[in-house]
């Protein structure tokens, strides 16, 4: 059905097509049995003390305001991350701000954290109990006077509703956000987020989402800080403002972050660099250019314990997750592994 509808959908503005997808999922009409695969136990994995049915997750950016996460579990995702959520509702940047690079199987976005705000998101999650592992991606408002305060507000408000919280310092579309990749800025941010929970003896599972546009020195710095401070996981990575030279689309020079297939090797190489430094001490979620079982398996072998996708879903349709799982099981078994966890980092 998706192959029939895709030409029509791709004639629509990308944001209108996205809104249609959200509205369709709200009807929750697709039976989960359609998306089941045999032998999925091969993909069962325990990370952050939680049992994931499979390692394929939906990246933040699709369900920005926590409207359809339970419907997304039904189409086969092992976990779903909503957001990015900010303290106050915000419209984001001026439209047009999302561009489909069809020839490159890629997107460029400069959305700017458009979402309904943490209060509305909290209401939705309370009223619609999660049916799977749920993460919440948090960030600061554009007009905030203090970005750290915004992160703290979101964390305090949303922590107990999710299985984990992702601290997003990686978007290129919020001014100054990527400055948190610098040593002292990052240490200060993490300290301000971790210590309040330690002092109250409360549990929190905190992940850090980073930019792909970092150099080897920054990789080293971030790895050192992650190992010395209480961060539970690393998300590698968000969209890139670089890597445009080989793109075919006439839209390649649009301002914003590039996602999709052109990010595949960039992300996988960065996963490998971090895995060599942090090993399995801090689990890695691999994001960027996941559109097939082959691209997913490369990230696992490079050191990712879990994976996320979003752009691949737009180009390949909702059965992408089922197809990845089915082929991934074959690859794991052909390589002689009993479980996906045994393949983590084997080619890093």
Four-residue CA torsion sign, 16, 93, 65, 313: positive
Distance in angstroms (rounded) separating the CA atoms of residues 266 and 249: 19
The b-or-e profile of 194-211 (16+ CB within 10 A means b, else e) is: beebeeeeeebbbbbbbb
Angle at 311 between CA 306 and CA 317, to 5 degrees: 95
Q: Distance between CA 188 and CA 180 in Å, rounded?
A: 9
Known catalytic residues are 171
Q: Compute CA distances 63 → 25, 103, 105, 256, 346, whole Å.
A: 10, 25, 20, 19, 33
Two structure tokens written together for 7: 């030409």
In 3D, which of 219, 218, 211, 216 has the Cα closest to residue 240? 211
DSSP states along 109-146? E-----B--HHHHHHHHHHS--SSEEEEEE---TT-S-
């Amino acid at each position: 059905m998706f192959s029939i509808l895709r030409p029509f959908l791709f004639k629509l503005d990308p944001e209108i097509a996205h809104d249609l997808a959200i509205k369709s999922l709200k009807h929750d009409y697709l039976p989960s049995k359609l998306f089941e695969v045999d032998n999925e136990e091969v993909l069962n994995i325990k990370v952050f003390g939680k049992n994931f049915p499979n390692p394929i997750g939906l990246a933040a950016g699709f369900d920005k305001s926590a409207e359809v996460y339970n419907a997304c579990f039904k189409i086969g995702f092992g976990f779903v991350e909503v957001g990015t959520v900010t303290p106050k509702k915000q419209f984001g940047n001026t439209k047009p701000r999302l561009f489909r690079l069809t020839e490159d199987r890629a997107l460029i976005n400069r959305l700017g954290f458009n979402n309904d705000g943490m209060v509305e998101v909290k209401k939705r999650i309370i009223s619609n109990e999660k049916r799977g592992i749920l993460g919440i991606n948090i960030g600061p408002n554009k007009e905030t006077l203090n970005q750290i305060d915004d992160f703290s507000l979101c964390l305090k408000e949303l922590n107990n509703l999710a299985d984990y919280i992702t601290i997003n310092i990686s978007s290129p579309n919020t001014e100054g956000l990527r400055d948190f990749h610098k040593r002292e800025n990052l240490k200060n941010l993490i300290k301000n987020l971790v210590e309040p929970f330690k002092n109250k003896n409360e549990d929190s599972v905190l992940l850090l989402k980073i930019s792909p546009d970092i150099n080897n020195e920054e990789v080293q710095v971030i790895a050192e800080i992650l190992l010395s401070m209480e961060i539970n996981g690393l998300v590698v990575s968000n969209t890139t403002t670089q890597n445009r030279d080989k793109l075919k689309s006439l839209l390649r020079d649009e301002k914003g972050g590039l996602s999709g297939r052109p990010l595949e090797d960039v992300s996988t190489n960065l996963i490998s660099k971090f895995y060599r430094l942090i090993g399995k001490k801090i689990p890695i979620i691999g994001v960027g250019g996941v559109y097939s079982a082959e691209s997913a398996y490369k990230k696992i072998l490079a050191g990712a314990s879990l994976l996320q996708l979003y752009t691949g879903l737009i180009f390949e349709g909702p059965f992408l997750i089922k197809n990845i799982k089915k082929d991934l099981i074959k690859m794991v078994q052909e390589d002689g592994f009993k479980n996906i966890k045994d393949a983590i980092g084997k080619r890093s």
